[in-house]
Amino acid sequence: MKKILIAGNWKMNKLSADAEEFIKELRAKNLPNEKDICILAPFTLIAGVGEALEGSEIGFGAQNVHFEESGAFTGEISVPMLKELGVTHCIVGHSERREYFNETDDTVNRKLMALLAAGITPILCVGESLEVREGGGEQTFVAGQLIADFSGISASDAAKIVIAYEPIWAIGTGRTATPEQAEEMCAFIRGVLSGIYDMATGDSLMILYGGSMKPGNAKELLEKPDINGGLIGGASLKADDFAAIAEAAASL
Ligand code: 13P
């Protein structure tokens, strides 16, 4: 059976009461695949989400992290700080961070290494802009991100990284990549990683699709052989929508 992860990226949304209510509603659904679900919350909500999830198999984590363990980095959060909260997952290199917060492939690479060393599963985001896709350069662009982001990472560590293909033109736009476009890129990503490492590593990798995934289109995306789940923004904010996507994954 295909490995699956349905990950909700809340981005900069929710206050604690809303977060608690969401977790309560989600748990009440008694989804059969709780172990395949995780919630990536804003830093202020992570501890509360962790508490609300106690006794459930649903994972939780952060949307960013700093690569240094501690020190004079005002405003930053380190891997040990996340570890102390018991987080299971952390997003790295989301396109919004690459675009607005100066995230580079070099900082992404360091963050991946720091998370791997601590046993937290990184969810690495890659994906091209509309301009790159319209110019036909999307595979070259994504391969370049992968080569730089995985630099110096061993095959055994690489296999622990979840990759999320998020075409920037599909994020928050309502314009989803077609299942064929998403599958084509996810299969390509698997091939790139098989090339950097070996076939076994490529085959075992989890590759998610992200970009306007919602209850109405989740099944056709998740059915594709090289897509191991979704990284969901807008539709992860309502427990009903998010649970419907998880249910679509459970029915595969
Ligand atoms: P949307 O699902 O809102 O398009 O966001 C996708 C995303 O960026 C998840 O990380």
pLDDT at residue number 175: 82
- In this predicted model, what pLDDT tens digit does every residue of 102-156 receive, in sequence order? 999 999 999 999 999 999 999 999 999 999 999 999 999 999 999 999 999 999 9
Residue 141 or 171, more confident? 141
* Nearest partner of 3 among 121, 126, 145, 150, judged by Cα: 121
CATH homologous superfamily, domain 5-250: Aldolase class I (3.20.20.70)
Is 134 known to be catalytic?
Answer: no
pLDDT at residue number 212: 94
* Nearest partner of 164 among 132, 191, 200, 127, judged by Cα: 127
The span from the CA of 145 to the CA of 98, in Å, is 11
The span from the CA of 225 to the CA of 210, in Å, is 16
The residue from 96, 128, 138, 166 that is catalytic is 166
Mean pLDDT (the chain) is 97
Mutate to test the pocket of ligand 1, among 12, 232, 238 (most ligand atoms within 8 A of CB): 232
Can you give the residue ranges of every domain in the chain?
A: 5-250
What average pLDDT does range 204-211 have in this prediction?
Answer: 97
Is 131 known to be catalytic?
Answer: no
pLDDT at residue number 176: 85
Q: Which atom of ligand 1 is nearest to the CA of 125?
A: 10
| Confidence label for 171 from pLDDT (cuts 50, 70 and 90) | confident
What average pLDDT does range 184-209 have in this prediction?
Answer: 97
The span from the CA of 216 to the CA of 219, in Å, is 8
pLDDT at residue number 63: 98
* Nearest partner of 27 among 62, 60, 64, judged by Cα: 60
Q: Going by C-beta distance under 8 Å and a sequence separation of 6 or more, which residues neighbour residue 62?
A: 40, 41, 43, 46, 77, 82, 87, 90, 91
Torsion region of 136: left, alpha or beta (phi above 0 gives left; psi -120 to 50 gives alpha): left
Q: Which residue in the block uniquely carries the two structure tokens 């659904």?
A: 29
| Confidence label for 1 from pLDDT (cuts 50, 70 and 90) | confident
The residue from 66, 89, 94, 103 that is catalytic is 94
